[in-house]
Amino acid sequence: MKRIQRRTLVATLATASLAVLLPATSFAQKPIVLGFSQVGAESEWRTANTESVKASAKDAGIDLKFSDAQQKQENQIKAIRSFIAQKVDVIAFSPVVESGWEMVLREAKAAKIPVVLTDRSVNVKDDSLYVSFLGSDFVEEGRKAGRWLVEKTKGQSGTVNIVELQGTVGSAPAIDRKKGFEEIIKADPKFKIVRSQTGDFTRAKGKEVMEAFLKAEGKNINVLYAHNDDMAIGAIQAIEEAGLKPAKDITIISVDAVKGAFEAMIAGKMNVSVECSPLLGPQLMQIVKDVKAGKPVPKRIVTQEGIFPMETAAQEFPKRKY
């Protein structure tokens, strides 16, 4: 028998015997099963984030078990426990608030299911309870908002009275955006935060709280700092209903840079929005694949983001992806 034929035969036999040894399923890779607990559907940002996660899971061939917690921590804890019971390969979630996660994350660890944090982080003593946190630097987002205001009011004497619409109480973005903004403005005593209250990241609550601010402070308000565009857009409605001009009588500083913010800036009703990208899906799926493959993943991955003033909104808007 010719040498080449013999070699091919040996190779074929080897493969055949291997096929006999290995169960058939090992050849058809089983899809990774990812359990994802989403905060809710409270804002344009959240909707875009959900779309990014779902589309990226599909593109990556990952079997996504998706749960919407309607902004309730107990629903997220229930969802994570359900993922553990289903023995998913990886769990990912955006924690609605920073605290109260130790127990359920210990249950996931005991079940040997890795957990990835996305968008928001948690306050835990033992950071081995999660493998990686992918999301924005919210403190820096607050600093960007503060720096923009300092620049805009440079050389202006007299007090600058600020009202602040905070995000969800206890959430990382609300805590850190406040922290970063105050870190910058505290350098100049002309800046005074005269009212600060949560609008829970929604348009409706943002409008309601801004109405209360206007009743209490009236024309005394110079600046609104909103922790997200949805609350800012609700506040703009309240400002107009009070007979004032948003972005002129009251300077409007916001965060997220969603489509609604660009539309408001193009209409001359919002001064600036600090970008906070919801398009975390592709990076999240890569982390999930790497974790499943046993590859090392960075503990912290920070998304890169910009700031968009009204002056450039019209030219930037066509390029926006969310």
Q: Tell me whether residue 35 or residue 173 sits nearer to ligand GZL (CB atom).
A: 173
Residue selected from 136, 153, 198, 251 as contacting ligand GZL according to rule CB under 6 A: 136
Q: Is 199 in the site for ligand GZL (CB under 6 A)?
A: no
Burial of 210 from C-beta contacts in 10 A (0-12 / 13-18 / 19+): buried
Q: Please name the residue that has the structure tokens 């061939």.
A: 61
Q: Cα separation of 277 and 92, whole Å?
A: 18
- 285-314 binders of ligand GZL (CB under 6 A): none
Strands of 63-68's sheet in order across: 63-68, 33-38, 90-93, 115-118, 132-135, 300-302
Residues with Cβ < 8 Å from 256, sequence gap 6 or more?
43, 44, 45, 228, 229, 230, 273, 274, 275, 276, 278
Torsion from C-alpha of 130, 256, 71, 98, nearest 10 degrees: 40
Both structure tokens of 96: 């609605």
- Told to check if 200 binds ligand GZL by CB under 6 A, we report no
Nearer to ligand GZL, 89 or 164 (CB): 164
By beta-carbon proximity to ligand GZL, the closer residue of 149 and 255 is: 255
Report residue 84 as tokens. Answer: 């553990």
Q: Which residues pair with 68 in a beta bridge?
A: 38
Shortest-Cβ-distance residue relative to ligand GZL: 45
> Which of residues 176, 256, 275, 305 is near ligand GZL by CB under 6 A?
256
120 binds ligand GZL (CB under 6 A): yes
Whose Cβ is closer to ligand GZL: residue 136's or residue 251's? 136
Does residue 276 touch ligand GZL according to CB under 6 A? Answer: yes
Decide if residue 143 touches ligand GZL (CB under 6 A).
no
Residue 171 main-chain phi, psi, to 5 deg: -85, 150
What is the smallest separation between the CB atom of 72 and ligand GZL, expressed in angstroms? 14
Distance (Å, rounded) from C-alpha 252 to C-alpha 240? 13
Binding mask 152-181 for ligand GZL (x = CB under 6 A): ---------------------x--------
Nearest to 192 by CA among 161, 229, 234: 161
Residue closer to ligand GZL (CB basis): 120 or 195: 120
Q: Least distance from C-beta 71 to ligand GZL, angstroms?
A: 8
Residue from 89, 119, 164, 176 in contact with ligand GZL (CB under 6 A): 119
Taking the least distance from each CB to ligand GZL, the nearer of 83 and 201 is 201
- Residue 113, interface with ligand GZL (CB under 6 A)? no
Which tokens hold the place of 290? 């790497």
116 counts as binding ligand GZL under rule CB under 6 A: no
Considering only residues 29 to 88 of the shown chain, the ones binding ligand GZL according to CB under 6 A are 42-43, 45-46
Report which residue type is found at 253. Answer: I
CA distances from 15 to 3, 96, 168, 172 (A): 19, 51, 58, 54
Return the amino acid letter for 142.
Answer: G
Closest approach, Cβ 147 to ligand GZL, in A, equals: 18
Size, binding site for ligand GZL by CB under 6 A: 14
Q: Which residues bind ligand GZL (CB under 6 A)?
A: 42-43, 45-46, 119-120, 136, 173, 201, 228, 230, 255-256, 276
